[in-house]
Structure 1
Amino acid sequence: MKMIGLVAIVASLINVSIPFQSRAETVLSARDLFDACTRADMDWISFCNGFIQASNDHAVRLGMACTPAGTTRTHLVEIFEYSAARLLVSQSELGDAAGLEVASAIIGAAFPCN
């Protein structure tokens, strides 16, 4: 996966998103999602698995991703954790974006519809 392409995809999502201030209290940020997904606690692991599955479903439904049959939730979470860790360092402002948008963009970059 090319990081520059991923950063461009995620950044473009943020540019067309609702201003963060108006949704800050009701939308899980990418930074908070990453934090939840990297906790060694079964409740958070289950939460992360469900959230990333929903992000995958969202990306597939919108035509952003073509996730191959047989892809496991564990693999989707690993892709998110790996990519988000790098994105949050290289473009820290992406941490304030909606977790759903960032996770969906990461999945779309990993499984593009060609």
Structure 2
Amino acid sequence: MQRLPISLAAVLFSLPASAFDTSTQMTGAGFSSACTRANESWIGFCNGYIQAAVDSVQKSDGICIPSGTTRTELVTLVEKAITGSDQLKALNANEAVHLVMRQSYPCP
């Protein structure tokens, strides 16, 4: 069983640098720009992005979203926080979204 982590590490370190090209990743600023557009397609994009972020939350992330919280509430919360913070805009969008959720919905 110890071979799996070693094998995985070997594969990851042998990948070309282009596999981790950050130019294909969305920043917090890109998320903010997309999620402040009054366009049905972009609204759907933001809902999907937030749903994917919520679906990826692990117990170890320290995020405990209260039952009954709507996706619209999450999109609004995250968009306002990122739009209002140059630091969050500079982060990878996924990191920024998780940071906002962790700060807003910490586990007890």
TM over 0.5: yes
1 CA distance for matches of 2:47 and 2:60?
A: 20
Segment of structure 1 superposing worse, 73-82 or 58-67: 58-67
Q: For the pair shown, which has the larger CA radius of gyration, 1 or 2?
A: 2
Deviation sequence 1:76-106 (CA, Å, 0-9, x none): 0111122112212xx3xx4232100000110
Question: Structure 1, unaligned stretches of length 5 or more?
Answer: 1-21
Residues 46, 64 of structure 1: CA spacing in aligned structure 2 closer, same or farther, 3 A cutoff?
Answer: same
1:55 pairs, out of 21, 31, 53, with 53
2 CA distance for matches of 1:87 and 1:59?
A: 22
The alpha carbon displacement at 1:59 in A equals: 3.2
The alpha carbon displacement at 1:26 in A equals: 1.9
Q: So what's the TM-score if we normalise by structure 2?
A: 0.73
Q: Relative contact order: is structure 1 or structure 2 higher (C-alpha 8 Å, sep ≥ 6)?
A: 1
2 CA distance for matches of 1:70 and 1:52?
A: 15
In structure 2, give the amino acid aligned to 1:110.
S
Would you say 1:35 and 2:29 are equivalent positions?
no
List, as ranges, runs of 4+ consecutive aligned residues in structure 1 with deviation greater than 4 Å. Answer: none
Residues 60, 72 of structure 1: CA spacing in aligned structure 2 closer, same or farther, 3 A cutoff?
Answer: farther
Q: So what's the TM-score if we normalise by structure 1?
A: 0.70
Residues 107, 47 of structure 1: CA spacing in aligned structure 2 closer, same or farther, 3 A cutoff?
Answer: same
RMSD: 1.6
Q: Is the 8 A contact 2:83 2:89 kept in 1?
A: no
Question: Structure 2, unaligned stretches of length 5 or more?
Answer: 1-19
